[in-house]
Chain A
Amino acid sequence: MPVETRRDVFQAIADPTRREIIRILAKEPMNLNSIADNFDVTRPAISNHIRILEECGIIAIEQQGRERLCSIRPVNLKEVSDWIGQFNMLWEHRLESFEKYVNQLKSKRSNHGKRK
């Protein structure tokens, strides 16, 4: 068994089964049994994934009578798209900045040219 030390959104989505659980729960909240019905792996294995997802802050578990209802906490998932998005935004901003600079440089040069 690998030692799992991190508890963040990226660990939550690192495992294919956990990603599938997130996808299923995104549609509607479910209890553990209903989630486990979607998989071929054992209930304890699913239970373990659920525990990790809860510790990562991706799902909330609410006791409803005998049932433990699992639901998604989208706020924490957003961190993933923000993390990816920053690379695209970074380049878009950088190239906008490049374009502005090129325009400045161009007008600077042409002003010099006119004065001569």
Chain B
Amino acid sequence: MENENDLARRTLTIRKTLDAPIELVWEAWTQTEHIVKWWAPKGMTVKVVKHDFKVGIEWKYTMPMPDGNEFISEGVYSVIEVLKKIITSANFRPMTEGVEMRTLFEKDGDKTHFIFSVVHPTEEYKMQQEKMGFYNGWGSALTRLEEIIKSFKK
């Protein structure tokens, strides 16, 4: 249970039901020509440096930041099941390293159920952070801080 709770605390999940057939959703999610249209936040552009959509192969996107640096997203696909599931490791440098992105697709007639999760960070990363004395109570501390901040806003 401890582990499940912990996993839940480290996972961001977003579910959507998209009003489009699964083939189209899959294509938009996985093809470079489409990715460049939706990946970047408003006002930014994304460059797909590497995107060979195969298991064990690295992908890498970059976004130039206003200060001249680059925001890099990269990872390696570990699971690709066509029209079903994609799992990839991911780093978002300079902010986050060692997360796992899971995307699940489920056909529902002409619609598609889409479940996206980011597990961050991995157990290994967490242990590393614990050794540094950094992670200790981090999650719960943040929850508390958010509560504190909310109470101040009232």
Contacts and interface: CB of A to CB of B under 8 A. Distances in A.
Contacts of A87: 12, 95-96, 118, 120
Interface residues of B, number: 35
B144 A102 contact: no
Contacts of B118: 87, 91
Interface of B: 12, 14, 16, 18-21, 24-25, 28-29, 34, 37-39, 41-42, 95-96, 116, 118, 120, 133-134, 136-137, 141-142, 144-146, 148-149, 151-152
B149 A74 contact: yes
A68 interface: no
Contacts of B95: 87
B146 A103 contact: no
Give the secondary structure class of B's interface: mixed
B41 to A, nearest CB: 6
A102 B24 contact: yes
B41 A93 contact: yes
Interface of A: 13-14, 16, 19, 22-23, 26, 72, 74, 77-78, 80-81, 84, 87-88, 90-95, 97-103, 105-106, 109
Given A14-B134, A92-B14, A77 B145 contact: yes
A91 B41 CA distance: 10
Given A72-B152, A91-B14, A101-B28, 7 more contacts: A74-B149, A77-B148, A77-B149, A81-B146, A87-B12, A98-B38, A102-B28
A98 B142 contact: no
